[in-house]
Amino acid sequence: MSSETRRSINELITLHELEPTLKEVFVEGLTDVQILRWFMDANSCSSVPVYSVDTVEVTAFHLAKYNLTSNNRNRLFVLAHELKSDKIDLVDRILCIIDKDLNSLIVESIDTNVLILTDYSSLEMYTFSSEPLGKFLTIYCRGYPISAADMMKQIAPTLKELFLIRATNEDLRLQLSPLEFQKYCVMRGREVASARDRYLSAYLNKNGKRGEFDSFLEHVDRFRQSVLGEERNFIHGHDYVNLLAWYLSQSGNSRTARNIYNDQAVERALFGSLEVPHVVNEGTFQKVLSFCQKPL
């Protein structure tokens, strides 16, 4: 189904009322569709279709009802909450999957039984693990001279600081435009050093919030006290890909290295390094299998 032939939410509900054996999975975007399709095909769930939320018409009116801005994650969140029928229970017929995103610090209120969250902040974070990242460094990077464990150790501190800044922006409802952080990072041997305060000052200045530096930083530090346990809950997927691509591009001075390690290529190669055993026992993927295999 193409995004040009979007179904309305009511049409989707009616379809499931008329076709009681139909199951469908909805995710945020095309990459998510491809990852779920690969996993489901590998586990004998090929008969269940996977769609991007772009195939359903979630309007500005719907978003305003939940006081949410327009992006794919929010549209899917709204879709899951609007899927209500007096005739059938959609819990075993429709499954919506969204990124956990900032929920480890800012908990969303979820009032629907057709929505699940990823185990970590995003799908990208399933690759932030020794086996898939090690495969990526060995094959795509042709034997990069540090281990996956060392790579994660080098980039995680900067990534968690960026996550705290994202969470603070969201919690304070500042709606600040993003600022590329790579130019505030430098390599010292194999280690990443980041000028957090200089970046934050430039970030706020760009958005006309220069005078908010102290209060913003105080909020960041308050959130930091909650950064405990699994670090994949406190790293944003896009930041991970961006910083990893930047890190790898610093390994050579040539334009070739910068071209090879661009964000899109690195993201595709990371996902290509995933194998079914890397994810099959994760909670979200177990729920997908349960949904697909449960008879109606």
Please count the residues of the chain.
Answer: 296
Contact 257, 249 (CB under 8 A): yes
Average pLDDT over residues 168-186: 95
What does the pLDDT look like over 40-69, one tens digit per residue?
Answer: 999 999 999 999 999 999 999 999 999 999
Q: If you search the block for the tokens 């919506």, which residue do you land on?
A: 96
What does the pLDDT look like over 4-42, one tens digit per residue?
Answer: 589 999 999 999 999 989 999 999 999 999 999 999 999
Q: Across the chain, what does the average pLDDT equal?
A: 94
Q: pTM for the full model?
A: 0.94
Residue 139 pLDDT > 60, yes or no?
Answer: yes
Distance of CA 33 to the CA centre of its chain: 13
Nearest to 84 by CA among 185, 184, 14, 161: 14
CA distance 227 to 165: 13
Give 3's pLDDT tier (boundaries 50, 70, 90).
very low
pLDDT at 7: 95
